[in-house]
């Protein structure tokens, strides 16, 4: 299964929308299978974007986890990719590069965010 950065963003946005900042149980994202979502939640826990409970077992279809909360690192990434226009511009850059690592994706998003801030700041 390939990593889907759009799904990573959707998971973060979905968890941020939780009123208590905490999610209970399996997460559902429209247009994605539960296996795909659970695998990405597992990956996001591994990357320290989320606090998760690993529920992987030997009879399962693959690694999976239940999301609990977004971490500080997760919020930093979410703030960088929240704006739809910035996200789409970053995805264009990712495609031109033929794919990117998570760290490079975050650097691109932060660079786009900084460029936007420079346009807003006076002088």
Domain spans, the chain:
5-71, 80-120
Task: Specify the DSSP element, H or E, that contains 66.
Answer: strand 65-70
pLDDT at 102: 92
pLDDT at 84: 96
pLDDT at 56: 84
Q: What is the spatial distance between Cα 66 and Cα 123, in angstroms, rounded to a whole number?
A: 47
**Which residues of the chain are under the pLDDT cut of 70?**
123
Reading the block at residue 49, the tokens are 């974007």
What is the model's pTM?
Answer: 0.90
Q: How far is CA 19 from the centre of its chain?
A: 19
């Amino acid at each position: 299964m390939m990593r889907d950065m759009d799904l990573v963003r959707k998971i973060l946005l979905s968890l941020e929308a939780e009123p208590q900042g905490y999610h209970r149980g399996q997460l559902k994202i429209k247009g994605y299978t539960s296996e795909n979502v659970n695998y990405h939640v597992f990956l996001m826990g591994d990357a320290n974007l989320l606090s998760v409970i690993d529920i992987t077992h030997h009879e399962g279809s693959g690694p999976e986890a239940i999301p609990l909360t977004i971490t500080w690192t997760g919020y930093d990434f979410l703030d960088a990719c929240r704006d739809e226009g910035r996200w789409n511009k970053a995805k264009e850059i990712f495609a031109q590069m033929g794919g990117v690592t998570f760290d490079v994706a975050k650097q691109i998003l932060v660079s786009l965010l900084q460029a936007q801030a420079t346009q807003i700041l006076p002088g």
